[in-house]
Structure 1
Amino acid sequence: MMQASALLHLLQFASPALPIGAYSYSQGLEAALEAGEVRDADTARAWIARHLREVMAPWEAPVNWRLMRAFTRRDAAAVAEWSERFLASRDTAEFRAETVQMGFSLSRLVSELGIADADITAMLPPEAELALPVAYACAVAALDIPHQEALLAMLFAWAENQVLVCVKSVPLGQVAGQRMLLSLRPEIEAAALVAQAIADEDMSNWSPGLSLLSMRHEIQYSRLYRS
């Protein structure tokens, strides 16, 4: 059973209120709205579910899983390897800027709160190359949060942010947004299971359509979000 202290730590670090700027990014969703690919509750849910299956499950969640294990084992070489691979997978300027900005903000928060010892923080890459999954894994290790729960929380926080973008920009009602988030539970659980079981050689960040939308967003005339 998860300890109460670990659960409270997890709730804090997976909260949308965490001051790292997650609310200011849509991860390509705003460009999909502009293109008409997302236009109502059904297409919004389909977009988020597909992103969970095709992007989060085979790449971002497994990278998070491997980084959490590496930090817990104090395996600096593995942290550096997966950090480098994740940054290399950010194939647009906006996606790279997003993960580095939030990674820096979260690592600064971890430092200011004084929750990580010197052995853990020594494994962090330079600020200019510090991706969000690396900083999150560092916090998970520092607070001794169980990896399975931390992975689910990461996926839920990502889905919640996507739903909030839809609530504000489709727009959807608040109840419709909560209904959508509740309906995404099977996809979130499935992504977490894939992340824990997938072999390194089967991982993939192949999502050219998302990359194209991100590049279009960089020159989109009117926008609310930074990605």
Structure 2
Amino acid sequence: MHTPMHTDSQLLFLLQLCSSSLPVGAYSYSEGLETLVDYGKIRCSSSLQQWLESELRYGAIGMEAAVMVRVYKAAETNDLETLKYWNQWLSAARETEELRNSSQQMGRALVRLLIELEPKMKEIFEQIGDNCNCGINYAIAFTVAATFFGINLQATLLGYLHSWLVNLVTAGIKLIPLGQTTGQILLKDLQGLLIKTVEQAMAVSDDDLGCCSWGLALASMQHETLYTRLFRS
């Protein structure tokens, strides 16, 4: 897949947007991993890799990337009604309250940060959500920001998926636990699947949007009953 070159400033903003130090609270969510580790379903790097591969191939993250394709095109043409539609669609697709809250809480944090970085974005987000206070999903805010700064679509999707993967691998390192080097090997081994997931997201039709994420939904619902918890989901 060919990705056009960016200017230096665009590349730097993409790196900033994808950084694990971005203050949106991503580190506080495990997306069901904490439950799976506690129940003994994930015990080592190979079982973690299997789970992550399944999520990328069949889970909600691939569907989210496909929605981002539609959001990107709508943001390019300033089609606010379409942006609102896909934001609401993505909220409705969240299968548990924890997953919906994590998406919207991170989205709200990113929106506030982006407005501080670039005040011109305030008007855009106010028209998508409710005065920037609630309801904007993280993937939507991420995509709108990338469009605003001229990041191309493929790079936007790869950056988003990579930041998602880094967050979950980091959670796995803490929970299983694993070594830092093992985590880096996982990230390298999953690069090809990230690229394939982007290609599929670019090609899927509206009628085929969907996912098989019942395992994630069950893990998310059971998370609140764990005896101890490090993460919010």
| TM-score (ref. length: structure 2) | 0.93
Q: Offset of 1:124 from its aligned partner?
A: 2.3
| RMSD, aligned CA | 1.4
Aligned match of 2:97 in 93, 96, 103?
93
Conserved in 2, the CA contact under 8 Å of 1:110 and 1:116?
no
Separation of aligned partners in 2, 1:121 and 1:207: 29
Aligned match of 2:53 in 49, 54, 72?
49
Q: Which residue of 1 aligns with 2:43?
A: 39
Tell me if 1:189 matches 2:195.
yes
Separation of aligned partners in 1, 2:154 and 2:119: 20
Q: Which runs of 5+ in 1 are unaligned?
A: none
Task: Identify if the C-alpha distance between structure 1 residues 122 and 74 changes in structure 2 by more than 3 Å, giving closer, same or farther.
Answer: farther
Task: Identify if the C-alpha distance between structure 1 residues 117 and 25 changes in structure 2 by more than 3 Å, giving closer, same or farther.
Answer: closer
Conserved in 2, the CA contact under 8 Å of 1:120 and 1:142?
no
Q: Which residue of 1 aligns with 2:13?
A: 9
Conserved in 2, the CA contact under 8 Å of 1:99 and 1:132?
yes
**Deviations along 1:147-195, whole A, 9 cap, x unmatched?**
1101100000001111101111111101111011100011101110010
Conserved in 1, the CA contact under 8 Å of 2:28 and 2:231?
yes
Q: Out of 105-114 and 122-131, give the one that drifted further.
A: 122-131
Conserved in 2, the CA contact under 8 Å of 1:57 and 1:191?
no
Tell me if 1:141 matches 2:147.
yes
**Deviations along 1:175-226, whole A, 9 cap, x unmatched?**
1110111000111011100100000111103311211110000222211010
Q: Which residue of 1 aligns with 2:165?
A: 159
Separation of aligned partners in 2, 1:18 and 1:55: 24
Aligned match of 1:178 in 163, 176, 184?
184
Task: Identify if the C-alpha distance between structure 1 residues 75 and 219 changes in structure 2 by more than 3 Å, giving closer, same or farther.
Answer: same
Separation of aligned partners in 2, 1:186 and 1:40: 21
Runs of at least 4 residues off by over 4 Å: none
User: How many residues matched?
Assistant: 227
Task: Identify if the C-alpha distance between structure 1 residues 115 and 145 changes in structure 2 by more than 3 Å, giving closer, same or farther.
Answer: farther
Q: Which residue of 2 aligns with 1:30?
A: 34
Task: Identify if the C-alpha distance between structure 1 residues 32 and 58 changes in structure 2 by more than 3 Å, giving closer, same or farther.
Answer: same
Conserved in 1, the CA contact under 8 Å of 2:10 and 2:151?
yes
Q: Which residue of 2 aligns with 1:73?
A: 77
Separation of aligned partners in 2, 1:177 and 1:185: 13
| Percent sequence identity over aligned pairs | 36
Q: Which runs of 5+ in 2 are unaligned?
A: none
Tell me if 1:109 matches 2:113.
yes
Separation of aligned partners in 1, 2:176 and 2:25: 21
**Deviations along 1:47-92, whole A, 9 cap, x unmatched?**
1111111114641110122112211110111101110110001121
Separation of aligned partners in 1, 2:50 and 2:119: 38
